[in-house]
Structure 1
Amino acid sequence: MASTSSTAAQDPGASNSEPVIGPATSTASGAAATGSATTDGTCGASNDGTVCGNWPQGSCCSMYGFCGDSTAHYGEGCQSGPCSQAPVVAAPGPSPAPANANPGSFKVVGQSGVPVMHAALMPNGRVVFLDKVENYTQLKLGDGYYAYSAEYDPATNEVAPLAYKTNAFCSGGSFLANGTLVNVGGNAPLTWLDPTVGDGFQGIRYLTRSSSDARFNGDDWVEPGNQLNMARWYASVQTMPDGTLFVASGSLNGLDPTVLTNNNPTYEILGTDGTTQGESITMPLLVKAQPYYMYPFLHLLNDGTLFAFVSKSAEIFDVAGSQTVKTFPDLPGSYRTYPNTGGSVLLPLSVATDWQSDIIICGGGAYQDITSPTDASCGRINPYAANSAWEMDAMPSGRGMVEGTLLPDGTVLWLNGARFGAEGFNLATDPALEVLIYDPSAALGQRWTTGARTTIPRLYHSVALLLLDGTLMLAGSNPDQMPVVPPATDPQGFATEFRVEIYTPPYLSGNNADRRPTDIILSNTILSANGQQLTITFTAPPNAQAAKVALYHGGFVTHALHMSQRMLFLAAEGFEVGKATAQMLTVTGPPNNNVAPPGPYVVYVVVDGVPGVGQFVTVA
């Protein structure tokens, strides 16, 4: 277990760029090994011609100059050494998806105020938007400088500026048990543009809102000076069962990740108060996946371990023991994480399956350039199975930057992204405008349908998130180093997007909107994760046949990742079929914090597939 101190130099100029992975060396796969053996795990033409030899992690020198032994590591081939871990299953190509009988609809409802790079639904029902330091936003602060964060009220479609102290460019985030949103990492300051915002590489920012106390509404981000143990740009965060935050990966300086010294393949833990425990620990999964090691996918499993995925590789990681407890076959197909990010979702958990669930990963791409093809394939896996294997499926077309959002009816919406290119400034084209609707309970080959089509490209730096009323908010698309405002466009013809859209899913479209459960009252809004019961009263529509209760945590949304997102279907008894007057359900809450880590959640009552308006609760 290696620890690393925060000593890396930071380049202030890096804030104007992205950590671009350049073209891989063209050295033929299996080229003759003529150099000396590596001493640090780097190799190949860009590293003094060294070879891997008997390097413990594997003897293939990847096209990007790192030693290893998996497809997640070597991708298109080896400069030297063997490429012996070819996937046993080929990734399927695009598969048509029929039109959904009720496709839903899009509507523009407002302006975001700032370019939307990050977002979260807060316990007051409003959405916080967060961006990097820019030379233009629609909002200004009292000191005359632009605001780079905003609070959006879906009830009124009004937006208010928020201030922060350190640059939150490409940061991560999750919630503490008390409902405070913690945002971590970022990038260097742009003092020539805004001297009031400092270095964010090790920044920690806090935002508190309350479902019962409006005094916090409109308050700025709080930054008392706490810092991460190390610089982290593009770090992922997961709330753990004990209320701590697991913070993984990140660039040290925003420079070329094919250079070993720029990378931070470690994790650290923030305590329940959101301050670092002061140690960064090397995570071998991140080491072997370099340069594809940033913004890993993380999902908390029902035994308190993490499912971690990066590049093409996955494992179960025991945080308490700082060790890998299970590895999985590499996912066939292209790269799946930054800068060829696809989407990853922990499918809904249920008492009926003892809180076990599959994980699905869709989309991705081949390399970081506008010419990169994108991947249509999806891999779905049961991490609890004795011989876990990827079940392959496919979307109707390749898609990068596609993100999956869980819905209270148990389906998953996949939105945003592009059919060509990768993440990075001006590196994507052919926007993917259709909503894809995924039903995880359907048979393989019958899970996908196509929903409505938007007219607004949602490319790099876009978000989608579920609101209290069961609709989805879409915002962002800023594929530019600095905002490009209509009628101007960037070189690919795309402007910075400030329009906020609402997508109304099938379950609220047509006559379904009139069949919502109403008058929902919860007996308790603080739930102990010990099987505690609560009662919910509500009025069902006429001739209702079934009801279920969903407990949802939306987490922190950025770069197609929904950090800490999870949906639970709780045991609920007492529904009377066909009764249109007041109904009462007795609901059994989650059994422990492995299943539902502490923090803010939304309770949705779902009758015949149609959700009522959600209400915030706290899981303790």
Structure 2
Amino acid sequence: MDTVVKEKSMCNSNWRRRSATLLLHNIMTLFLGFQLAAFMMSSLMMMQVEAQGGWEVIVNNAGIASMHTVVTHYNTAVLLDRTDIGPSQLPLPDGVCRNDPNDESSTHDCTAHSAVLDLGTNTIRPLFIQTDTWCSSGQFNGDGTLVQTGGDNDGFSKIRTFAPCGGDGDCNWVETDVPLQNGRWYATNAQLPDGTQIVVGGRGIATVEYVPANGRGTTYVPLIADANDAQNDNLYPYVHLLPNNQLFIFANQDSILYDWQTNTVAANLPTLPGGPRNYPSAGSSVLLPLSGFNGWTDAEILVCGGATYGAFLNPGAAIPATQSCGRIAPLDANPGWALENMPLRRNMGDMLLLPDRNVLIVNGAANGAQGWGNAQNPVTTPVLYNPNGAPGTRFQTLTATDIPRVYHSTANVLPDASVLIAGSNTHQFYTLTGYLATELRIERFSPPYLAPGAPAIANAPGELAYGAAFTATINNGNPKFIDLNLLSAPYSTHSFAQGQRLLQLETAAPAAVGGGTYTVATTAPPSSVIAPSAYYMLFAVSNGIPSQAQWVHVG
């Protein structure tokens, strides 16, 4: 009996030990499992964050807050602010000073209000500019010269040029002697197929004119008149050159087709619902990519964001921004706007065509409007828009930045397919402390497509004649398909990239030449209507990943 009890006791003791050991094992397994799961979740989150892009400050103090930014074919960026803000943080060299009796802030100024950023070294070289470029406009000519028009005060009627040069050059601004026919402030420039530029609108100016003047004079356009709008929400009109050689011009909530050759309105288009979309209630706009695969005919316009009417008139009210986008095919027989909502409300956003033919929406605020002190709640999260996605699936949020960019911010695509982000000054003068201080840092945003396995353009012509066949040699491409896309270098200011366009060339299937290298046969754009003569960035895109661009001259 005792033996039986003893055996039972030993059995129970062994069972308890085994149970305790098993329990401890299970606890440890569960703990390790939780740790593994947490690690995997953390890794997955890190992978997701990596997959949503990344930010890097490349210049800690540019000296100026760039409200106008362009990228040149010398792989530099021209930064431009207004001149009547008093001293900037960037001194002019060798004791050079600007003497201007008309300047409202400083008649003797020894600091720069424009600069060149070398994209290879991230170094800044100050530039000298004499007249006030506040809220001016610009565009590249066919030879790569930047033409810059208008501004405030003594810059109201000025035409300036900048012929870019390499990193060791001394190129600078030139103030021309030929004035604008109508002085302009808050206007928009667009390059035309004949090599001239049209300059559209401006505060109190409801006309268009041409630079250089080509005999067509100035013409009144009712769309850009501001008589019936207390906010003047028709400034910085959205202007896009269409494949039928007409201009799409959008102001406030309305748009027209404009025949620039006869200076007449060819058609009035439907009103876009959702409130005003132009400065000071600015959203943004792009002409979606044109493609040689459909004969360059499928033109669509996208307009996103804006401010609720009244936000500009009531700057302290923090009125919510617009969340909707409108999309229209203006050359259709019966065009109409299709609406969809962005993930976030946004005004003052910049919209950029990326080399993979998606659209980036970046910068801006969720409340208020453009103007000094009007913006609240910066939107630091970029959004990606896929034009070819199904409605309801087109938007994707990306990694946020730590630096708010509101009024007077800019965004430009760079030759390495990243995005240059500069500016932000919601104050009348440079205010380097406090809420939404003047921002002198420059960032580079790397979209999600910047990943290992990028193709490389080994060889492509530097000059493309209209309609000419050519072959590009691509390393590390997809043997089934490689995109060749031409991207212009627009003038970015006040939430609109003037002159922006992306052209998808019609390509044949890649031909293997060995060692992971392929040749791709294609044809240059057929005319200056599709591709106004200029320097473009040629990107090869394989598996959704763009190459470093090669600059090519078209025309």
TM-score of the superposition, structure 1-length normalised?
Answer: 0.75
Alignment of 1:555 onto 2:510: no
Q: Return closer, same or farther for 1:376/1:218 CA change in 2, 3 Å cut-off.
A: farther
Contact 2:457 2:540 in 1 (8 A): no
1:578/1:397 CA distance change after superposition, 3 Å: farther
The alpha-carbon distance between structure 1 residues 226 and 315, as it changes in their structure 2 partners (threshold 3 A), is same
Secondary structure of 1:336 counterpart? coil
Larger Rg: 2
1:607 Cα deviation from its structure 2 partner: 1.2
Distance 1:547 1:579, change over 3 A: farther
- Which aligned pairs between 1:281-320 and structure 2 lie closer than 5 A? 281-287=219-225, 290=229, 291-320=232-261
Moved more, 367-376 or 333-342: 367-376
2:167 maps to 1:203: no
Partners of 2:464 and 2:157 in 1: how far apart?
Answer: 34
Match of residue 166 from structure 1? 131
1:141 equivalent among 73, 77, 92? 92
Counting only pairs closer than 5 Å after superposition, residues 24-39 of structure 1 correspond to structure 2 as none
Distance 1:218 1:339 in 2: 36
The 10-residue stretch of structure 1 (330-339 or 320-329) with the greater mean CA deviation from structure 2: 320-329
Are 2:308 and 1:361 equivalent residues in the alignment? no
Query: Which position in structure 1 is the counterpart of 2:380?
Result: 433
CA contact (8 A) 2:457 2:548 kept: no
Inter-partner Cα distance in structure 2 for 1:557 and 1:308: 17
Query: Is 2:428 aligned against 1:477?
Result: no
Distance in 2 of aligned mates of 1:105 and 1:579 = 34
1:100 Cα deviation from its structure 2 partner: 8.3
Q: Which residue of structure 2 aligns with residue 103 of structure 1?
A: 52
User: What are the superposed Cα offsets for residues 398-426 of structure 1, whole Å, 9 maximum, x if unpaired?
Assistant: 21101110011110000000001111111
1:536 aligns to 2:472 (yes or no): yes
Is 1:219 the equivalent of 2:171? yes
Deviation at 1:528, TM superposition (A): 1.9
Q: 3-state DSSP class of the match of 1:507? A: coil
Measure how far apart 1:150 and its partner are. Answer: 0.5
RMSD between aligned residues: 1.8
| Partner deviation per Cα, 1:191-235 (whole Å, 9 max, x = no partner) | xxxxxxxx100011101125xx666x3411011322101110001
CA distance in 2, matches of 1:214, 1:596: 28
- Residues 562-573 of structure 1: matches in 2 within 5 Å? 562-573=497-508
Alpha carbons of structure 1 residues 284 and 205: separation in structure 2 relative to 1, 3 Å:
same
Q: Distance in 2 between matches of 1:276 and 1:168?
A: 24
Q: Deviations over 1:466-492 (max 9, x none)?
A: 00000001011011111011xx22xxx
Give me the whole-angstrom Cα distance separating, in 2, the residues matched to 1:444 and 1:204: 43
Is the 1:544–1:579 contact (alpha carbons within 8 Å) kept by the matching residues of 2?
no
Gaps of 5+ in 2: 1-47, 98-109
Q: Please tell me whether residue 236 in structure 1 is matched to residue 188 in structure 2.
A: yes
| Distance (whole Å) between structure 2 residues aligned to residue 519 and residue 416 of structure 1 | 31
CA distance in 2, matches of 1:519, 1:467: 16
Aligned position for 2:346: 399
Report the Cα offset of residue 533 of structure 1. 1.6
Judge which range, 289-298 or 597-606, deviates more: 289-298
Judge conservation of contact 2:513–2:519 (CA < 8 Å) in 1.
no
The Cα of 1:505 is off from its aligned counterpart by 0.5
* Change over 3 Å in CA distance of 1:599–1:578 after alignment to 2: closer
**Aligned positions of 1:26-105 closer than 5 A:** 102-105=51-54
| Residue 280 of structure 2: aligned partner | 339
Q: Equivalences for 1:387-536 in 2 at 5 Å? A: 387-485=334-432, 488-489=433-434, 493-508=435-450, 512=451, 514-518=452-456, 520-522=458-460, 524-529=461-466, 531-536=467-472
* Corresponding residue to 1:246 among 179, 198, 206: 198
- 1:276 Cα shift? 6.9
In the aligned structure 2, how far is the partner of 1:569 from the partner of 1:208?
28
Using the TM superposition, give the Cα deviation of residue 152 of structure 1 relative to its aligned residue in structure 2, in angstroms: 0.4
Report the CA distance between 1:599 and its aligned residue. 1.1
For 1:446 and 1:587, the matched residues in 2 are separated by 31
2:39 — aligned with what? none
Equivalent in 77, 86, 110 of residue 127 of structure 1: 77
The whole-number CA distance in structure 2 between the counterparts of 1:578 and 1:537 is 9
Does the CA-based 8 Å contact 1:136-1:482 persist in structure 2?
A: no
| CA distance, structure 2, for counterparts of residue 101 and residue 582 of structure 1 | 28
Superposition deviation, residue 280 in structure 1: 2.1
Closer/same/farther in 2, CA of residues 250 and 276 from structure 1, 3 Å limit: farther
- Which position in structure 2 is the counterpart of 1:39? none
User: Aligned partners of 2:376 and 2:513: how far apart in 1?
Assistant: 50
Is the contact between residue 549 and residue 569 of structure 1 (CA under 8 Å) also seen in structure 2?
yes
Superposed displacement of residue 521, structure 1: 1.3
What letter matches 1:106 in structure 2?
W
Tell me which of 267, 273, 293 is aligned to 1:352. Answer: 293
- Say if 1:519 and 1:377 are closer, same or farther in 2 by CA, change over 3 A: closer
SS in 1 for 2:155: coil
SS in structure 1 opposite 2:147? strand
Cα gap change, 1:584 to 1:445, in 2 (>3 Å): same
Q: Retained in 1: the 8 A contact 2:71–2:77?
A: yes
Question: Which structure 2 residues correspond to residues 363-382 of structure 1 after superposition, within 5 A?
Answer: 363-365=305-307, 366-367=309-310, 368=312, 369-370=314-315, 371=317, 372-382=319-329
Q: Secondary structure of the residue that 2:396 maps to in structure 1?
A: strand
Q: 3-state SS of the aligned residue for 1:429? A: strand
Going from structure 1 to structure 2, the CA distance change for 1:382 and 1:482 (only over 3 Å counts) comes to same
For the 8 Å contact 2:151–2:184, the answer to whether it is kept is yes
Distance in 2, matches of 1:373 and 1:342, equals: 13
Whole-Å Cα distance in 1 between the matches of residues 332 and 88 of structure 2? 49
Q: Look up the match of 1:330.
A: 271
* Alignment partners' CA distance in 1, 2:178 and 2:215: 11
Alignment deviations for residues 27-81 of structure 1 (CA, whole Å, 9 cap, x no partner):
xxxxxxxxxxxxxxxxxxxxxxxxxxxxxxxxxxxxxxxxxxxxxxxxxxxxxxx
What is the number of residues matched between the two proteins? 483
Tell me which residue corresponds to 1:280.
218
What letter corresponds to residue 299 of structure 1 in structure 2?
A: H
Task: Give yes or no for contact 2:358–2:387 (8 Å, CA) kept in 1.
Answer: yes
**d(CA) in 2 for partners of 1:182 and 1:160?**
20
CA distance in 1, matches of 2:74, 2:509: 30
What is aligned with 2:549? Answer: 614
- 2:51 is paired with a residue whose SS is coil
CA distance in 1, matches of 2:484, 2:496: 25
Helix, strand or coil: the match of 2:143?
coil
Identity of aligned residues (%): 34
Instruction: Tell me the CA shift for residue 439 of structure 1.
Output: 0.2
Decide whether the 8 Å contact of 2:346 with 2:366 is kept in 1.
yes
Structure 1 position 618, deviation (Å): 1.2
Q: CA deviation at 1:581?
A: 2.3
Judging by fraction of residues, say which structure has more helix.
2
**SS of structure 2 residue aligned to 1:388:** coil
Distance 1:385 1:104 in 2: 36
Residues 547-596 of structure 1, C-alpha deviations (whole Å, 9 max, x = no match): 11000102100000100100000012241479652211112010111110
